[in-house]
Structure formats: C-alpha cells, structure tokens
Chain A
Amino acid sequence: MLVLGGVLVAGGVIVTQFLGSAVDYYCNVDEIGTRSGCDDDRRLRVQGTVEADSVELDRGTTTFVITFNGAELPVRYEGEPGGIFKECLPVVVHGQIVDGTLEGDRVEVKHSEEYEAANEDRLEPDPRCEPGTV
C-alpha cells in the first residue's frame, strides 16, 4: 500500500511538473508576437537554429542569433552553453525578451532525428544551416 501511495504521488508530481514547465510557452522564432501565447513580454521557450558566424563569447557571456523561417532573434546567455552547442544546430532557449534580445537562462541543444557518420574529409559547408530546418 505504501508503494502504491508513493506511485500516486510520483504520478501527480510528474503531471504538475509538466504543466508547470508548459507555462514557459514553446515558440519558434517567427511566431513571437504573432502566435497566441508567444507574446514578447512573457517568459518563453524559443526554438531556432544558431546562425552561422554569430556565436561570440565575451567574458563569460555568450551571444548568438537564432533563426527560424527567416525570422531572427539575438540571444544573450550568461555562461557557455553545454551539450553539443555549435553553429547551424537547432537550440531551445528559455528566457525573456528585453529590448529585442532574448535574455536566456537556459540553453538546450536539440538534435535532429538524422544520424550521419563523422567524416573528416568533408569540407563543404554544413548543408543544414538553412532557415526552417529545425
């Protein structure tokens, strides 16, 4: 009975965590200010691709630009993003937009469902660094 009670509590915690997390609305860059719930004056989770040559690291602060469907959004993040963060990869940034810049407090790197062998001979630019490939 004790285990069963624990299970019910765990289920409740999971559901509330999911709902609490959903408060940070999940938006693509081009939906900010247009899609309902993606207003630029609230906390958001914004999904976009890191623009090539836009990543700059200055005294512990990382700035970069994310794009989606042609729309761009500059991001400032205190610290260095973890995971496999690099240009041309889709990311999800949690934060709030201040003066047109997304002040991110959490950066997560999204991985596509494509798997390709690493090839050191490949020199051509990453073909996936095109808008709308998230």
Chain B
Amino acid sequence: MTTTDLDAGTPARTSAPRGTGTRATRVLGIATVVAMAWLVAFGLGFSPADRDQEESVRILYVHVPTIWIAYLAFVVTAISSGCYLFGRKKSLGFDRVAGASAEIGVVFMAVTLIVGALWGRLTWGVFWQWDARLTTTALLFVTYIGYLAVRRLGGSHHQRAKRSAVLGLLAVLEIPLVHWSVRLWRSLHQEATVLRTDGDISMDGLMLFSLFVGVIAFTLLYVWLLLHRSRTMFLEDLIEDRGLDQALAARRAEAEEVRP
C-alpha cells in the first residue's frame, strides 16, 4: 500500500491511486487495534461474571456493539442514499459510501446473529427461537442482503445508484421495528438495558464500561473498513469505465479498418 491520496492529483505515472491507504486510515487502523486489545482486556479480564449468566455474559461485549454499529451503518447507507438521490450533483461518491456501509453492516450483523445464537444456547437453552426480536432481526438481515444483490443487478453506475438509493431509504425503516419489537410483542429476548427511554440502566458499572469500550472499538473498525471499502469501490467503477472505453476504442478501430 502506498501513500497516494485518492483525491490529490499526485504527479504519479498513473492517474489512479495505487492503494486505498492514507496516513489517516493508518492512524485509524492502529487506534482500532489498540481499542480491540482494550476490549479483550476488559471483556475477558477486568469485567465481572454475571450473577445468573456467569461467564457467558461476556458475549454481550461483542453482541451489542456489533448490532449497534450495524444499525449505524444502515443509517449511514440511508443518509448517503438520500444525498445521492436528492443532491443536485448526483455524486456517485455518495452511492459508493452507501454500498460500502451496507456491506459492513451485513457483516457486523452476521456476527451479532452468530454470537447471539451461542449466547442463546448458553442462557435460554436454545440457539434460536422464532420470537419477535429474533424474527425481525433476521428479516432486517435478509433485507440488506437483498440490497446488496440489487446493487449487482447491472446497468450503468447511475442506474445502480438510483435503484439502490430508493431501497436504502426504505430498508432503514425496519430498524425501529427491530428495536421496539421486544416492547410490541412478548418476546424471549429481554428488553433494552441501555437504549431505553426511562434512563434507568440496571447494569454493573464495569460491565457498562466494557460495553462502552466495545462500542468504541467496533466504531473505529467500521470507519476504517468504510474508508477502504468505498475507495476500492471507486477503483472497481474506474476499472469498469476503463474497460468500456477500451472496448469502444477497439470497436472504432475495427470500423476504421473495414472502411476503405
């Protein structure tokens, strides 16, 4: 990875950047590693076991941050989609940020579901139960896999951007349903501990702090991945455009040859 910046026109031999790293992403990457080390120390070491759940409570420090950041990622997708759709410039940069953010959100959500199933087996006694929270979460997960599939349907970059922006704005409306599903229906999944309206958090102080470390660590990881992924998407678009240009040039050259 070289230090070439995407936007700054460095006097390089190629007009395209040779990597997706910048000084900012490297600093961010180091901060992510440090925060993850902190999370391991607090999640597995300093934080206490729970009275009822004992050691299995430590799954919380991955389960909760990953789903919160997945929500954040989908909100970023929606905002970015709106910026593309309603912006005057119709900038494809917004579309790439939307796509990259959704991809990372889906990965984070997969982590939430996997560790959640393990946690469910340990505390509830079952991996899965078709209750309100789990069902709505699964629905949100496949919705965004659908979003990613729509992005790959083909057509021009702007066709892709327009189609997916509409879906990105609609899909985000599912998140409030997932969050309040535990209040709307009777559910095996417990209600919210931290994100509740009465502000009465029933959680041991060190556990809450470990959760906070987890949120910081996964937020940093998200931003780092988002920067790199949206830049590789820019490069992918560039390769596609180049390929099209070359194909057109080849076709024109062919036509020239045929003509006397």
Q: Which residues of A contact B (CB under 8 A)?
A: 1, 3-4, 7-8, 10-11, 14-15, 17-18, 20-21, 26, 47, 81-86, 89, 92, 106-119
Cβ-defined contact, B135 with A84, below 8 A: no
Task: Tell me, rounded to whole Å, the shortest Cβ–Cβ distance linking A91 to chain B.
Answer: 9
State whether B153 touches A1 (Cβ < 8 A): yes
Contact B125 A83 (CB under 8 A): yes
Taking a contact as CB atoms under 8 Å apart, the answer to whether B124 and A115 are in contact is: no
- Give A26 to B133 CA distance when docked, in angstroms: 14
Q: Indicate whether B244 reaches chain A with its CB closer than 8 angstroms.
A: no
| Residues of chain B having any CB pair with chain A under 8 Å | 48-54, 56-57, 60, 121-126, 129-132, 135, 138-139, 142-143, 145-146, 149-150, 152-153, 185-186, 188, 190-193, 202-204, 206-207
5 new A-B contacts, CB < 8 A, other than A7-B146, A11-B142, A108-B126, are A17-B130, A84-B56, A113-B191, A115-B57, A115-B203
Pairwise interchain contact A107-B142, C-beta atoms closer than 8 A: no
Q: Assuming A113-B192, A114-B203, is B129 touching A4 (CB within 8 A)?
A: no
**How many Å lie between the Cα of A26 and that of B182 in the bound state?**
13
Contact of B149 among A4, A26, A114 (CB under 8 A): A4
Chain B residues, Cβ within 8 Å of A1: 153
In the bound complex, how far is the Cα of B131 from the Cα of A47, in angstroms? 13
Cross-chain contact of A115 among B50, B122, B191, B192 (Cβ < 8 A): B50
Residue of B nearest to A19 (CB): B130
Complex-state Cα separation, A80 to B48, whole angstroms: 28
A84 touches B123 (CB 8 A): yes
* B122 contacts A83, C-beta separation under 8 Å: yes
User: How far apart are the CA atoms of A10 and B149 in the complex, in Å?
Assistant: 14
Q: Are A111 and B48 also in contact (CB < 8 A) when A4-B149, A11-B142, A83-B123 are?
A: no
Partner of A11, one of B49, B143, B185, B202: B143
Taking a contact as CB atoms under 8 Å apart, the answer to whether A116 and B146 are in contact is no
CB neighbours (8 Å) of B152 from chain A are: 3
| Complex: chain A residue closest to B144, CB-CB | A7
A118 touches B135 (CB 8 A): no
Q: List 22 A-B contacts (CB under 8 A).
A: A7-B142, A7-B145, A7-B146, A11-B139, A14-B142, A21-B129, A21-B131, A83-B121, A83-B125, A84-B53, A92-B188, A108-B126, A109-B123, A109-B124, A111-B52, A111-B123, A113-B191, A113-B193, A115-B53, A116-B51, A117-B206, A118-B48
